[in-house]
Structure 1
Amino acid sequence: MIDVLLVLNTGSSSLKFEVFGYDRLDRLAKGKVTGIGSGARLSAIIEETGAIVDRPLTDDDHDTAMGAVIDLIDRYDDGWHMVATVHRIVHGGETFADPVIITPEILSELETLVPLAPLHQPYNLAGIAASDRLADAPDIACFDTAFHVGQAPVFKAFAVEEALREKGIRRYGFHGLSYDWISRVLARDYPDVARGRVVAGHLGNGASLCAMAGGRSIDTTMGMTALDGLPMGSRTGAIDAGAVTYMMRSLGLSVDEVERMLYERSGLKGLSGLSNDVKTLLESADPRAAFALDYFALRVAQYAAMMATSMGGIDAFVFTGGIGENAAPVREAILSRLAFLQPFRTLVIAANEERMMAMHGKTLLEA
């Protein structure tokens, strides 16, 4: 019998999973269910045997997706015993600074944070509900906001009156699991870089930067929600708040319509009118694609300079995430705009949020 951890990252239309051996955290299986709500499909690989699974699912909800993952594990495991299920939760609010074992009371508190992460939190919680069939395995929550908890108050505050700040209107930051992984890889493989001033860029369909000094988060580009800062695949990034009130008051858009526009129809998708996929945009001859990519690179460079200001300089820039790891022309466009800064080291480090979650889960269980 082998003790294992199941790591889940549940989104609106997908469920990604990995199975790790508990002792060494070696990966035993990985896969995903895509197309939830519109033709779900399970694809996976069992690392030990090399077995590959690729099949459609009969139903399209999260419960069915979770059931398919559990059935896959039951069919292909080699005497695995599920010790815990570890879930990525995007927003931990002001309460959650560390991973926790989920109780009904904690789940209720996480539900109050749904308005702060409407594209993520409801589906993260749906993954918890769907995993209830693993009755003997506790659920553990790991928070994307946790890495930024120790930031100084000056980096957390919005310039609003105290009464609003006391109600939680403040900056939280996200992609913390990714930045936590980056800080640990740097400490292990590049200790001289880890001790310095690092701008880490998690650049993907969701995108942000983090200023890290000595491996700790000093500042980050996302704010109260995962909408602020850099332009993203389909999210605006920073936008004049007055433009939002104008859209509602003068253009007659409802709150729901504005929210959909900000989260789903903007960013690279809105700028190009073509796609939120960088590979597609790089291959396109349409000038709108070039404009969208140029805009993205410019904003990343501008915010990188801001992150450097927060630390008093920059010693290294670390790229991670789908765009950061794979789109060399975008990396080059960003770095060319930062050439006026003192020479700094550039690294590309593969994201591994799932392993970071497994590490957190094991640490919590052994505490």
Structure 2
Amino acid sequence: MSESGNGSPAVLTLNAGSSSVKWALFRMDSLPVRTATGKIERIGLRDGIVTVTDVATGHNERRIEQVPDHAASVRLLIDQLAYSGKGLSVQAIGHRVVHGGSRYADPQVVSAEVMEELRRLSPYDPEHLPAEITFIEAFGTEYPQVPQVACFDTGFHQHLPPVARLLAIPRRYETLGIRRYGFHGLSYAYLMEELERVAGRDAARGKVILAHLGNGASLAAVRDGVSIDTSMGFTPASGLPMSTRSGDLDPGLVSYLARTEGMTTEQFHHMVNAQSGLLGLSEISPDLRDLLAQEGRDARAAEAVALFCYQGKKWIGAYAAALGGLEQLVFSGGIGEHAAVVRARMCEGLEFLGIHLDREQNEANVAVISSPESRVTVRVIRTDEESQIAQSVCRLLALNEVR
């Protein structure tokens, strides 16, 4: 992949997490066209996993690599791009940045000022921001002439009303930026665009609940195309229980565990982000597929699945109340797109809201899974954060117009 000049214009998207990084290459046509994707997983563990897919041929490669840290993953990725990006000339690099704080909502061209603010925000999200900063710096060094764009996961929720934004703690902390932000914004922005495409503008401007259910899980209430509430708050650990994150907890646990077990703030942070959720409850696995396979013979697995579905149902009910009704319910994310049993259990008992699923349609994972008598249209839409990043980069830099 050349930096400029030779080859078809392309955009590279990067989504760096605490132990993984996902990437995609898009050729610039009238709309971005994905040509290759990849993922580096288990960074820092004994056996890293590198996956690369050539979209045109469908060829998929998976191999084991030693990836001791993010610096090593950067080198691996740059080497891979030299192969996957043949014939492409990268015009811009888009990064998913989980937290934009109070200052950044819209995509930003990376500058010294932006980097300074991201470093200041690192304590807001130590699970993601340090890795994202590492990748921005490394690719800035590797491709110094190529503009980089930060796309913020918090941006979709920038207009949360005060009643959904404020935390009930002393007011002075709000001036320090401590409030509810919400996350999964790139996914939600994509889902709203897709909803308008498949169902029309009126549907997308109605009363909508979006459920992004994956390793990280959250829901958002959207009215007139604007987020009015969302389950994640100041950090991505809040809201629903997730694969390894606790979701909402009684804050009194912090002082209780400090007194009784001598638990430090760092240990508590690690526990609620990496040892809790489905993994902590089941003591088996953070993967819902594993728990569904074992729930018939292991009570811990069954209870973990039941709690996840029960909490999802509660948020749907709460957001129907916040919206003053419900017209569209959209499931997405790895669990939301593929786990029919989870969708069914979350919707069970919500007939009073007008939600009725078609069992066969739900089990077939089709686009509309509600029955004809359902007042609420229940949909399954595959999310695509990488495509959303690429489109945001193109809009900001007017790359299609340059061509």
TM bucket by the smaller chain? over 0.9
What is the match of residue 34 of structure 1? 41
Write the mapping of 1:207-226 to structure 2, written as runs, cut at 5 A. Answer: 207-226=217-236
Q: Where in structure 1 do 4 or more consecutive aligned residues deviate above 6 Å?
A: none
| Alpha-carbon distance between aligned partners in 2 of 1:315 and 1:244, rounded to the nearest angstrom | 39
| Alpha-carbon distance between aligned partners in 2 of 1:43 and 1:70, rounded to the nearest angstrom | 14
183, 186, 189: which one aligns with 2:195: 186
CA contact (8 A) 2:291 2:302 kept: yes
291, 299, 307: which one aligns with 2:319: 307
What is the match of residue 148 of structure 1? 157
What is the match of residue 14 of structure 2? 8
| Alpha-carbon distance between aligned partners in 1 of 2:340 and 2:38, rounded to the nearest angstrom | 26
Write the mapping of 1:71-82 to structure 2, written as runs, cut at 5 A. Answer: 71-82=79-90
What is the match of residue 103 of structure 2? 95
SS in 2 for 1:112: helix
What is the match of residue 231 of structure 1? 241
What is the match of residue 341 of structure 1? 353
280, 286, 299: which one aligns with 1:287: 299
The aligned amino acid for 1:138 is P
What is the match of residue 362 of structure 2? none
SS in 2 for 1:166: helix
Write the mapping of 1:13-162 to structure 2, written as runs, cut at 5 A. Answer: 13-23=19-29, 24-38=31-45, 39-57=47-65, 59-131=67-139, 132-162=141-171
Deviations 1:23-76 (A, max 9, x none): 220101111112222233422122234454434445533233222222222224
| Alpha-carbon distance between aligned partners in 2 of 1:312 and 1:22, rounded to the nearest angstrom | 42
Residues 1:240 and 1:348: Cα distance change in structure 2 (over 3 Å): same
SS in 2 for 1:217: strand
CA contact (8 A) 2:245 2:272 kept: yes
Alignment of 1:173 onto 2:182: yes
Number of residues paired by the alignment?
A: 367
329, 340, 345: which one aligns with 2:341: 329
| Alpha-carbon distance between aligned partners in 1 of 2:28 and 2:265, rounded to the nearest angstrom | 45
TM-score normalised per structure 2: 0.87
Q: Percent identity?
A: 39
| Alpha-carbon distance between aligned partners in 2 of 1:168 and 1:59, rounded to the nearest angstrom | 35
**Cα displacement (A) at 1:179:** 0.4
The aligned amino acid for 1:139 is Q
What is the match of residue 355 of structure 1? 387
What do you get for the CA RMSD once the two structures are aligned?
A: 1.6
Deviations 1:282-320 (A, max 9, x none): 000211111111111111111111111221111121000
| Structure 1: unaligned runs, 5 residues or longer | none
| Alpha-carbon distance between aligned partners in 2 of 1:345 and 1:49, rounded to the nearest angstrom | 36
